Amino acid sequence: MTNLLSNLNLQQPENATSDILVYLLNGIPAYKKAFLALIGDGLPEDCTIDREQCIIDRSRPDFIAESKDWIAVIENKPWNTSNLGVQFSDYAKALKKREKAGNKYLCLLAPEKEKDRLLGEIAKNELVNIDSIPIHFQCEYGIHVSVLTWNKVLDTLNAIQPENEAAKLWLDALRTYIIPPERLLTPEDIATEQSIVKNWDTAKAIISDTKIILQKMLPIYGYTGVRLLSGGKEITGSNSYGWYIYDPVNKNIQYWIGIDQVTWAHFRSIDIKHYLFIVRAYRNLNKEEVISSAILEQCGFKRDKKHYYDKHTYVYPLRDTADVLAVTPQNLAGAIVVALNGVRDALAKQYANHG
């Protein structure tokens, strides 16, 4: 049961963690009281914790708890690929406009190991240092800022109502899903992850150079529609970078070629290799059943069950990224052509066999 969440095919896993936590907090008063106490001293439990309610100006944080003389806004960022961007600052500005709200609280909910990285994003956007964040938000926006870790929340709730076995199962499932056992992170995993982060700009440059090579190669094979996401512009905080191509010969089968840290993190836990550079295959533009699972798997694609972009997503791993700098655009371009033409050949054989 502790692997319950991990085994679900969740298209939006972050939302699932938020939904389950809110369900537990609203269903068990002792849980809600303890949770609010972690956000701020003396917060009463005379409220309901709501999901994604608009506070003002279309701002929709993950949780809102509100009573007649206070409001608490909580933003959930449970993954090592989660980014805040300007969300925290936007919520602070929205809360500042809530003149009748009385005491205002803004809380970041994140795993312990991701806390400092996310605080660094907040500090960068607010042009302050990390240590001065609480004072800055109190002075600038009139709100109390707190940082709450999933580790602390789960430890606190686990100590309440030990006889409630159903709640314990969900808490254990959340812990396993959000805070995987450290034994899953080998020294090689950690070294590879650090290498990916350190060399992210280099990896993006490799992908851009690969695109230039493929622009000359792919039209020969009849592929079309090469376009770099966002026109190749830098996307602050992005963990994914690449482009789409289409196969008009086979009903516009769609592929995405690039680098993706979410996919890497997933395959890290289930595969020996650490794949960052990938080809992602979609059924086609209309999500029709054009490519069978059997053909994709036969051609070396792997089902990405945990990826939340599309439940029919398959990934072709291009290269082990234990050494990101050892990957070359020429090698990637050659592997991409092999992958795409492998699918084409398999489809041609299937059509021939079925007349």
pLDDT reading at 127 higher than 80: yes
Domain boundary among 180, 214, 246: 180
Mean pLDDT of 32-46: 82
| Pair (87, 214) in one structural domain | no
Q: Can you tell me the distance from the alpha carbon of 279 to that of 351, in angstroms, rounded to the nearest whole number?
A: 24
pLDDT reading at 12 higher than 60: no
pLDDT per residue as tens digits for the range 212-224: 898 888 888 888 8
Cβ within 8 Å of residue 182, ≥6 positions away: none
pTM over 0.75: no
> Quick one: how far is CA 174 from the chain centroid?
16
| Pair (71, 176) in one structural domain | yes
Confidence of residue 156 (pLDDT cuts 50, 70, 90): very high
| Pair (198, 60) in one structural domain | no
Domain boundary among 130, 151, 180: 180
| Pair (157, 242) in one structural domain | no
Q: Quote the percentage of the chain above a pLDDT of 70.
A: 76
pLDDT score for 231: 43
| Pair (202, 342) in one structural domain | yes
| Pair (293, 337) in one structural domain | yes
| Pair (248, 292) in one structural domain | yes
| Pair (107, 238) in one structural domain | no
Q: Which helix (H) or strand (E) holds 341?
A: helix 329-353
pLDDT per residue as tens digits for the range 195-206: 777 788 888 888
Domain that holds residue 125: 4-180
pLDDT per residue as tens digits for the range 281-300: 765 555 555 567 777 778 88
pLDDT score for 9: 45
- Total domains in the fold of the chain: 2
| Pair (214, 331) in one structural domain | yes
pLDDT score for 119: 86
User: Looking at 53-57, 108-112, 246-250, 296-300, which range is the least confident one?
Assistant: 53-57
Cβ within 8 Å of residue 219, ≥6 positions away: none
pLDDT score for 270: 61
3-state secondary structure 184-250: HCCHHHHHHHHHHHHCHHHHHHHHHHHHHHHHHHHHHHCCEEEEEHHHHCCCCCCCEEEEEEEEHHH
User: Looking at 17-26, 145-154, 311-320, which range is the least confident one?
Assistant: 311-320
| Other C-beta atoms lying within 10 Å of the C-beta of residue 211 | 22
pLDDT score for 294: 75
pLDDT score for 8: 45
* Alpha helices, DSSP H, located in 142-199: 150-158, 165-178, 187-198
CATH of residue 162 = 3.40.1350
Q: Can you tell me the distance from the alpha carbon of 245 to that of 109, in angstroms, rounded to the nearest whole number?
A: 38
| Pair (77, 123) in one structural domain | yes
> Quick one: how far is CA 303 from the chain centroid?
17
pLDDT per residue as tens digits for the range 69-125: 788 888 898 877 677 778 888 888 888 887 776 788 889 998 888 888 888 888 888
Q: Can you tell me the distance from the alpha carbon of 107 to that of 88, in angstroms, rounded to the nearest whole number?
A: 9
Q: Can you tell me the distance from the alpha carbon of 128 to that of 120, in angstroms, rounded to the nearest whole number?
A: 9
Domain boundary among 150, 180, 210: 180
Confidence of residue 185 (pLDDT cuts 50, 70, 90): low
| Pairing outcome for strands 49-51 and 103-110 | unpaired
Q: List the end-to-end C-alpha distance of the chain, in Å, as a whole number.
A: 47
| Pair (216, 336) in one structural domain | yes
Q: Which of 57, 20, 183, 176 is nearest to 111 (CA)?
A: 176
| Pair (196, 279) in one structural domain | yes
